[in-house]
């Protein structure tokens, strides 16, 4: 976990050099009470190892024994490769960037996508755009469901222990996306 340690360090450095950059965030500041929050995370159907709610929005699936769906596991890894440096470990936020595990619960799926694709600027507080970065775009559903699972406290902090196998359909989509 040396790599993780270096991320912590760089996040700390960023926080120091850009102190004061964290402005009040509409969504990430809203606490989440998983028992009360009015978001539909229930699995309505599964397709090739991906899970969706009734409105065809990607969602997570956590079995009774803690086994997570592939996307949630993959999202954990992708999040910590691309977003962690600013948004902190496990989506918990930092002094510099918002607690996006909450944002993933409160924000509309398409609004979440929009911010990541196009970025957002609020004075000194800058969210980069990732629309041209396949390492993010090919895995954005993964990152989204992982953060949503974190926000809803469906998965604990840290690396998920047990995971479903990666389906052929997910592998094919990944190959096509990464080119």
- Residues in touch with ligand HEC (CB under 6 A): 23, 25-28, 82-83, 85-87, 96-98, 100, 103, 112, 115-116, 120, 122, 125-128, 130, 136, 143
Euclidean distance between CA atoms 99 and 66, whole angstroms: 24
In the bound state with ligand HEC, the residue whose beta carbon lies nearer, of 82 and 141, is 82
In the bound state with ligand HEC, the residue whose beta carbon lies nearer, of 69 and 82, is 82
- Other beta carbons within 10 angstroms of residue 60's beta carbon come to 23
In the bound state with ligand HEC, the residue whose beta carbon lies nearer, of 135 and 171, is 135
For the CB of residue 108, give the shortest distance to ligand HEC in the complex, in Å: 11
- Identify the helix (H) or strand (E) that includes residue 51: strand 50-52
For the CB of residue 58, give the shortest distance to ligand HEC in the complex, in Å: 14
Backbone angles phi, psi at 145, to 5 degrees: -70, -35
In the bound state with ligand HEC, the residue whose beta carbon lies nearer, of 61 and 94, is 94
Euclidean distance between CA atoms 134 and 142, whole angstroms: 13
For the CB of residue 138, give the shortest distance to ligand HEC in the complex, in Å: 11
In the bound state with ligand HEC, the residue whose beta carbon lies nearer, of 6 and 48, is 6
Q: Say if residue 75 is exposed, middle or buried (CB neighbours under 10 Å; 0-12, 13-18, 19+).
A: buried
For the CB of residue 6, give the shortest distance to ligand HEC in the complex, in Å: 15
In the bound state with ligand HEC, the residue whose beta carbon lies nearer, of 121 and 168, is 121
For the CB of residue 45, give the shortest distance to ligand HEC in the complex, in Å: 25
CB burial string 79-102: b at 16+ within 10 A, e below: bbebbbbbbbbbbebbebbbbbbb
- Other beta carbons within 10 angstroms of residue 104's beta carbon come to 26
For the CB of residue 54, give the shortest distance to ligand HEC in the complex, in Å: 23
């Amino acid at each position: 976990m040396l790599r993780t340690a270096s991320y912590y360090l760089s996040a700390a450095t960023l926080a120091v050099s850009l102190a004061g950059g964290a402005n009040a965030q509409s969504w990430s500041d809203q606490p989440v009470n998983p028992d009360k929050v009015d978001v539909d995370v229930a699995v309505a159907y599964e397709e090739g190892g991906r899970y969706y709610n009734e409105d065809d929005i990607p969602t997570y699936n956590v079995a009774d024994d803690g086994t997570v769906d592939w996307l949630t596991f993959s999202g954990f890894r992708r999040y910590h490769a691309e977003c962690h440096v600013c948004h902190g470990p496990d989506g918990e936020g930092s002094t510099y960037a918002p607690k996006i595990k909450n944002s993933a619960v409160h924000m509309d799926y398409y609004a979440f996508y929009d911010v990541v694709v196009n970025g957002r600027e609020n004075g000194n507080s800058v969210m980069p755009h990732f629309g041209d970065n396949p390492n993010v775009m090919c895995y954005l559903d993964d990152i989204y469901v992982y953060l949503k699972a974190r926000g809803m406290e469906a998965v604990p902090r840290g690396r998920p222990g047990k995971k479903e196998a990666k389906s052929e359909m997910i592998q094919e989509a990944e190959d096509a996306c990464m080119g």
